């Protein structure tokens, strides 16, 4: 099912432009796995800092926010949530 490709559920109401989809995939790749290094968190933060429009950030926030529970460290979750709410 394309809406659940790779085990990731996607809201069928969201139309995601290709460049935004690439950013989401890059973030998802960093969130894969059980442990997350500081380097992975920094990569996610940098991807989010490169977002310049509120509409793009809204799409990314809607897709990525539910995945943040995978992060064991509350500090890492908070840092990413701060970036997601920046715009």
pTM: 0.80
Q: Which residues contact 39 (CB under 8 A, 6 or more apart)?
A: none
Residue 18's Cβ-count burial label (10 Å; 0-12, 13-18, 19+) is exposed
Q: Which residues contact 84 (CB under 8 A, 6 or more apart)?
A: 48, 57, 60, 61, 64, 65
23-53 tens-digit pLDDT:
999 999 999 988 899 999 999 999 999 999 9
56-83 tens-digit pLDDT:
999 999 999 999 998 999 999 999 999 9
């Amino acid at each position: 099912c394309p809406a659940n490709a790779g085990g990731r559920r996607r809201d069928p109401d969201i139309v995601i432009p290709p460049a935004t989809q690439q950013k989401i995939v890059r973030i998802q790749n960093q969130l894969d796995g059980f442990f997350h290094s500081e380097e992975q968190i920094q990569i996610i933060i940098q991807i989010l800092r490169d977002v310049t429009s509120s509409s793009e950030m809204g799409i990314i926030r809607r897709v990525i926010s539910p995945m943040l529970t995978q992060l064991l460290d509350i500090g890492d979750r908070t840092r990413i949530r701060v970036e997601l709410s920046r715009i």
